[in-house]
Amino acid sequence: MTRRAFDPGQCPIGRTLERVGDTWSLMILRDAAHGLTRFDQFEKSLGMAPNILAQRLAALVEAGFLERRPYRQRPLRHEYAPTDLARDFEPVMRALMAFGNRHYATEGVASQMVDVTTGLPAEPVLVDRRSGKPMDSPDFVHAAGPAASPAVRERVAAIARRREAAP
């Protein structure tokens, strides 16, 4: 039995990164969001070794981001279609794209989301669905959820203490 190098516990960020937290997996999900579904399409787009691609596709299927289904019987071939979970993850990838363009595109922006009507680059922000307020507003703080363990409750309390002590 292999031991995990990291146990995310109840951390939603850690749990998500366990499933999609490597570059290849994110690039596969990016390509799947853009309509690629077949092994050879991913291989050509990403230029990755077939054994690594097979491993990442299997992991994304197991994690529920992709659905593996046959598209040809002789010889048997499968495609990898995005699931609702993958579609729910797309805004995260758009936020990563905007962050990367803002902080790491030293040569200039190579790809971006644009408004279809105006052609202007999109500037994504995370907002609360209920209030419409930006999530980086001081109106929002980190809080323990109903299922939080004692360790999570203590970590959240420590965050609150640091926030209260800040000038």
Flag whether 109 is in a domain.
no
Q: How confident is the model at residue 147 (pLDDT cuts 50, 70, 90)?
A: very high
CATH of the domain at 21: 1.10.10.10
Confidence (pLDDT) at 7:
81
Confidence (pLDDT) at 13:
87
Does one domain contain both 131 and 77?
no
Q: What's the chain's length in residues?
A: 167
Q: Where are the alpha helices (DSSP H) in the chain?
A: 12-20, 23-33, 39-46, 50-62, 84-104, 150-165
Does one domain contain both 138 and 77?
no
Does one domain contain both 80 and 131?
no
Confidence (pLDDT) at 2:
44
Does one domain contain both 68 and 133?
no
Contact 122, 115 (CB under 8 A): yes
Q: Is 82 exposed, middle or buried (0-12, 13-18, 19+ CB in 10 A)?
A: buried
Does one domain contain both 80 and 21?
yes
Domain total of the chain: 2
Instruction: Count Cβ atoms below 10 Å from residue 29 Cβ, excluding itself.
Output: 21
Dist CA 132 CA 82 (whole Å): 28
Whether residue 40 is predicted with pLDDT greater than 70 in this model: the reply is: yes
Flag whether 120 is in a domain.
no
Contacts of 93 (CB under 8 A, 6+ apart): 26, 29, 30, 33
Flag whether 53 is in a domain.
yes
Flag whether 104 is in a domain.
no
pLDDT digits (tens, 9 = 90+) for 58-96: 999 999 999 999 999 999 999 999 999 999 999 999 999
Report the candidate in 16, 17, 27, 44 with the shortest Cα–Cα distance to residue 111. Answer: 27
Flag whether 132 is in a domain.
yes
Which of 36, 70, 85 is where one domain is finished? 85
pTM across the whole model: 0.85
Does one domain contain both 74 and 131?
no
Residue 20's domain comprises: 12-85
Contacts of 19 (CB under 8 A, 6+ apart): 25, 59, 60, 63, 65
Which of 53, 69, 85 is where one domain is finished? 85
pLDDT digits (tens, 9 = 90+) for 102-126: 999 999 999 999 999 999 999 999 9
* 73: Cα separation from own chain's centroid: 32
